[in-house]
Structure 1
C-alpha cells in the first residue's frame, strides 16, 4: 500500500456461519414433515391422509426439537442475535417473503376456504374425538398447529435463554397456559357437553364473551358452570385486570398468559428485531390500536342497548359494526396480518397495532401501574442490543443512555431488553408509584432482576 493511501478503517464483518451437516439433517426432517402435511392436504384417501398427518406432526416435532438443541442447547447460552440482518429468512429477504406468503395464505384458507382443509380436518378426527368427543373442524386443526408451534418453539426458547431464570419461567408459563387452558381445557369441556370456553381470554380481546347472545348461551337453563363463566369474564375484565396491572404492569397477561403473546414470544422470536422503531410507526400504533379499542367498546355498548331497546336504526348499525369488526379486526388483522406478517414486520404486529386488550392494559400500565423498567445511564455502552430485541418497537437504548425509566403503554414486560444487556443496565421493577417517572428511587426489594 502506498504511504500516502488512506488506511482501510472498515471493520471486517463476521461471515454468516454455514449450517453444518447435523443442522442440515434436522432441517431436512422438518421439511420432510411439512411436505408430508402438504400431501395429506391433497390426499382423498382418509386412511392414508391420517397416516401422513400424524407422521408429519412427528417429523416436524422431532426435527424442530433436535435442531433447537443442536443450535442453542449445546454451546454457551445467551442472547444470540448474530447475522440476523444478513440472513434472507430474518432480514425481509426472499425466504422471509415466501414464509409470509405461506402464513397469510394458510390463514386465508382457514378463515374463508376451509373446504380445502377437509382432508386434514378428517385426519384429525381421532385426536378430536379423544379430547372433545366430537369430530374435528378447521378450528381444532388450527388449535393443534398453534399449540404445537408454541410448545416446539418454546423448547427452542428454553435452550436459547436458559441463562435467564426469568425467561425460562416466562416461557414455561406461556407454554402451560396455551396447552392447558387454550387447548386441553376447552376440549375437556366439550367432552362433557359443556360450553367451549377459554379461561385465558377476556373482553375486549375475546370480545364476544360479553356480548348479549354469548351471555344468553352460557347461562341458558341456569347452568352453574355457564353462570361462573360469565362471572369469570366480568371479574377478569373489570376487576382482576386493573388490580394485576397496577402491581405487575401488562406483562402479567401479555407475556405470561395470552396465547397471542405466547406465539409471538416463541414462534415469533426469530423476528423480534424487525419491529419498526421509528417515531412515525409509534404514531400509527397509537392511532390504530386506540381506534380498535374504541370500536369494540362502542359495539359492546350498542349490542346491549339493542338487547333492551330492540328494533329501530340502531339495530342495523350495530349489526353492520359487528360484521365489520369481526371481518377486518377479528379475522384479517388478528389472524392474516397478525401472524402472517411475522417475517416482515416482527412478531408483535397484532399486539402492537391492533389488540384492544393490549390497548386497555397499556392505558392502565402507563397511568396507574407501579411497573417500570429502570435504567442506569452511567453503565450504558450504547451497544443497541436492547433496542434490537424489543418486539414492541421501543428504542430502549435512548432511555438507557439518559438513565430514564421506561414507562410506555406498549411495553409488554417481556424483559428481553434486560436479558440482552451486557452491563445489567435495565431492570423490571414493581416499586411504589412515588418516583416512578424520575428513576431516582429504585426499590430493590421489589425489583425483579432479569440477569441471573
Structure 2
C-alpha cells in the first residue's frame, strides 16, 4: 500500500513538485517567571542609564542595587526560569540562526558596545581630553564609577570616584566579576548534566570573586599594596619587572611578588605536567573565566581553518618572545642602572602595554567575543597560554582520548570548540587530542551525544605520534604548515 500522503503529493507539469511540508518546532512561550525577571532587567537598565545620563545623581546604595543589582539578579533569574523547565542535556537549538550568536545584527551591536566600553576603559583620560579640554575634560566613565562608590567604600575603605587613577579599574573589576557570576549561573543550568562543567564553573567563579576581586580590595582596605594572586608572569607581566620589587626584602609586596615568581617558574610547569593547561586556563584565570561564562554563547564562532591554526602558532609565540625580551631588557637596564638601553627599554615597555596589554587582550580579546568567539586573546595572544601549551605538548599527562568507533561525525565537538580545534577530525581516526592550544574546557565532551571524548590524565608517553622526541616534534609543528592529520 502506498501512503495516501505520497499519493497526494502529485506532480504538476506546469509548476513541478511543490515543496514538501516541513515540521517546525513551535517556539516556546515565556513563562510568567521569565517575564518577571525580564522586567527586573528592564528596570535595572533604566536605573543604570538614568544615572549615567545624570538624571539620577548620588544614587548611593539604592542606585547601585537598582542598577547593577537588578541587572544581575534579573539576568540570573531569567536563566534559572528558562533552563529549569528544560530537561538536562545538550541545548544548542538554532544557535547558527540566532542574530545574537551568529554575527547577525544583534551580535554586531553587542560587539560594538563591548568594544566601545573597553576603549573607554583603557583610554579614559585621552578620550576625556579629546571630548572636552585639558582643563575641563569630559569623562564619560565618571558617572559609572560613581555608581560603585558605596561598594568601593565598603571593601576598599575609599570611594572609587576619589581614586582618579584607579577608580575605573575597581568599576571594571566589579562588572567583570558580576558577569562571571551571572553567566556562571547560566553555565550551572546549561551543563547541569555534566559534573566536570559544574565543578569547573564553580572554580572560575570562586577564583574571580575571591582572589581577583575581594582579596585585592581588602588589601587596599588594610593599607597594603593591591595584588592579584590568580595572575602570574608572563600574563601579568609587570609582576616580574624590576621596578615592582621594593628595596625592603621583608616588604609585603615583595613577599607577594615572590609568590608570583614561584607560581610562574615552579608551580606552572609542575601543575601543567600533572593536569595540562586546563588547571589554569579553565579553572583559575580570570580571562578564561570570562570566556567560559559570559563568552559561552559565542564559542561556536571560532575559526577552525588551518590558516587560523597557522596564524595562531606564530602569533602567540611571537607575543611570548616579545614579553621575554622586554623582561630581560628591563632587568639588564636595572643592573646597569639605566646606562644601556634605558630609553629603548622604556619605549618598548610602553608599546607592549599599549598594543598587547590594552588593545589586544582587552579591546579585541573581549570586545570581539560576538564576532570572533570567546577565546581570541587566549588563542592568539596570551603569553601564559603559550608557556602552558608548550609544556602540555612536550611533557604532560593530559590528553583527550577518543573512541572513534562510536563517532557519528555530527561535528558538535568541533563546532563548540572555542580554541578552533577540529576535534571531529581526531575522533574520526581515533587519535588522542594533545594540542598545545587545548585549554581542557571539556565542552567538546559535554556536547558529544555518544560519549566519544574523554578528558584524562595518564602516562606522559605515547600520547601522540612523535612524542618520543617531543621537543623536536614541537619545533617541527611550530615551523611547518599545520595539517589536519597532525597528532
TM-score, normalization: structure 1?
0.92
1:187 match:
217
Tell me, in whole angstroms, the C-alpha distance in 1 between the residues paired with 2:195 and 2:251.
Answer: 40
Tell me, in whole angstroms, the C-alpha distance in 2 between the residues paired with 1:273 and 1:31.
Answer: 28
Q: Structure 2 vs 1, CA of residues 361 and 12 (structure 1 numbering), >3 Å: closer, same or farther?
A: farther
The structural deviation recorded for 1:27 is 3.2
Tell me, in whole angstroms, the C-alpha distance in 2 between the residues paired with 1:16 and 1:354.
Answer: 43
Kindly indicate whether the alpha-carbon contact (under 8 Å) linking 1:44 and 1:119 is maintained by their aligned counterparts in 2: no
Tell me, in whole angstroms, the C-alpha distance in 2 between the residues paired with 1:138 and 1:77.
Answer: 40
The structural deviation recorded for 1:310 is 3.0
1:117 match:
141
Q: Structure 2 vs 1, CA of residues 387 and 105 (structure 1 numbering), >3 Å: closer, same or farther?
A: same
1:300 match:
327
1:96 pairs with 107, 116, 119, which one?
A: 107
Kindly indicate whether the alpha-carbon contact (under 8 Å) linking 1:157 and 1:266 is maintained by their aligned counterparts in 2: yes
Tell me, in whole angstroms, the C-alpha distance in 2 between the residues paired with 1:26 and 1:424.
Answer: 35
Larger CA deviation: 70-79 vs 99-108? 70-79
2:117 pairs with 106, 109, 126, which one?
A: 106
Tell me, in whole angstroms, the C-alpha distance in 2 between the residues paired with 1:248 and 1:12.
Answer: 48
Tell me, in whole angstroms, the C-alpha distance in 2 between the residues paired with 1:438 and 1:288.
Answer: 25
1:127 match:
151
5 Å-filtered alignment, 1:240-255, equals 240-255=267-282
The structural deviation recorded for 1:283 is 1.1
**1:360 is the counterpart of 2:390:** no
5 Å-filtered alignment, 1:150-189, equals 150-189=180-219
2:6 match:
none
2:308 match:
281
Report SS of the residue matched to 1:390. Answer: coil
Q: Structure 2 vs 1, CA of residues 339 and 78 (structure 1 numbering), >3 Å: closer, same or farther?
A: same
Tell me, in whole angstroms, the C-alpha distance in 1 between the residues paired with 2:39 and 2:170.
Answer: 27
**1:428 is the counterpart of 2:455:** yes
1:20 match:
30
Q: How many residue pairs were aligned? A: 436
5 Å-filtered alignment, 1:219-230, equals 220-230=247-257
Q: Structure 2 vs 1, CA of residues 44 and 304 (structure 1 numbering), >3 Å: closer, same or farther?
A: farther
Kindly indicate whether the alpha-carbon contact (under 8 Å) linking 1:41 and 1:49 is maintained by their aligned counterparts in 2: no
The structural deviation recorded for 1:11 is 9.6
* Structure with a larger share of its residues in helix: 1
1:445 match:
none
Larger CA deviation: 237-246 vs 312-321? 312-321
Tell me, in whole angstroms, the C-alpha distance in 1 between the residues paired with 2:324 and 2:338.
Answer: 21
Q: Structure 2 vs 1, CA of residues 18 and 345 (structure 1 numbering), >3 Å: closer, same or farther?
A: farther
5 Å-filtered alignment, 1:130-145, equals 130-136=154-160, 137-145=167-175
Kindly indicate whether the alpha-carbon contact (under 8 Å) linking 2:40 and 2:71 is maintained by their aligned counterparts in 1: yes
Kindly indicate whether the alpha-carbon contact (under 8 Å) linking 2:100 and 2:107 is maintained by their aligned counterparts in 1: yes
Tell me, in whole angstroms, the C-alpha distance in 2 between the residues paired with 1:199 and 1:16.
Answer: 49
Tell me, in whole angstroms, the C-alpha distance in 2 between the residues paired with 1:296 and 1:285.
Answer: 17
5 Å-filtered alignment, 1:249-264, equals 249-264=276-291
Q: Structure 2 vs 1, CA of residues 134 and 249 (structure 1 numbering), >3 Å: closer, same or farther?
A: same
Kindly indicate whether the alpha-carbon contact (under 8 Å) linking 1:16 and 1:83 is maintained by their aligned counterparts in 2: no
1:337 pairs with 364, 376, 384, which one?
A: 364
Kindly indicate whether the alpha-carbon contact (under 8 Å) linking 1:46 and 1:123 is maintained by their aligned counterparts in 2: no
1:444 match:
none
The structural deviation recorded for 1:304 is 0.1
Per-residue displacement from partner, 1:166-216 (whole Å, max 9, x unpaired)? 100000000000000000000111111111000100000000001011123
TM-score, normalization: structure 2?
0.85
Larger radius of gyration: 2
2:240 match:
210
Tell me, in whole angstroms, the C-alpha distance in 2 between the residues paired with 1:156 and 1:98.
Answer: 22
The structural deviation recorded for 1:286 is 1.2
Q: Structure 2 vs 1, CA of residues 19 and 53 (structure 1 numbering), >3 Å: closer, same or farther?
A: farther
Report SS of the residue matched to 1:198. Answer: coil
Tell me, in whole angstroms, the C-alpha distance in 1 between the residues paired with 2:237 and 2:317.
Answer: 15
The structural deviation recorded for 1:49 is 6.9
Q: Which runs of 5+ in 2 are unaligned?
A: 1-9, 126-138, 161-166, 467-487
Q: Structure 2 vs 1, CA of residues 400 and 48 (structure 1 numbering), >3 Å: closer, same or farther?
A: same
**1:48 is the counterpart of 2:59:** yes
2:11 pairs with 2, 13, 17, which one?
A: 2
2:179 match:
149
2:412 match:
385
Tell me, in whole angstroms, the C-alpha distance in 1 between the residues paired with 2:200 and 2:52.
Answer: 35
Q: Which runs of 5+ in 1 are unaligned?
A: 440-452
The structural deviation recorded for 1:33 is 1.7
Tell me, in whole angstroms, the C-alpha distance in 2 between the residues paired with 1:409 and 1:13.
Answer: 43
